Amino acid sequence: MNDSEKRRDLINQMQSLAQKNSTETALFHQAAAEKLGLGITDLKAVSALLQEGPMTAGQLAKRLNLTTGAVSNVIDRLEKEKFVHRIPDTKDRRKVIVSVNKEKLSSTNNIYRSMGEAFEKLLETYSIEELKFLVKFYHSTIELTKLEIAKLISSWR
């Protein structure tokens, strides 16, 4: 097999593995959401708020690509289960800021702990150079995925 064929084979393997990883990750998140009595969209809303900080309902709707009505239902469910708080926006009384209830999260059995520990053990087997490559790869794939999401959304409208 020449270099061109090896490269093509590796690219094909990466694409196949990425699809499998995506499926397994989605299934893990679905199981995690069910364990908490939430839907996957509810869990991703909490995740977005944790990663990006408090946001208005409109900002959260845009981030999750939901209608304002749908995001209101998500926030209602999360607030009922005490995963989030609605806080009046001091700059605009018509808006509310949605914020994660960190006490609730800390009191909940951390369903991600085992996964985090397993990944940490795996990552410790890599060299610094390999880790730098993986960090670069993840940054690139996240940005690429965001661009592809935007393309999909714009093609619907």
Q: Given a cut of 70, is residue 151 above it in pLDDT?
A: yes
| CATH class label, 39-107 | mainly alpha
In this structure, are strands 84-88 and 96-100 parallel, antiparallel, or unpaired? antiparallel
pLDDT tens digits, residue range 104-145?
877 666 788 889 899 999 999 999 999 999 999 999 999 999
pTM for the whole structure = 0.83
According to DSSP, residue 85 is labeled: E
Cα torsion angle, 100, 141, 61, 69, sign: negative
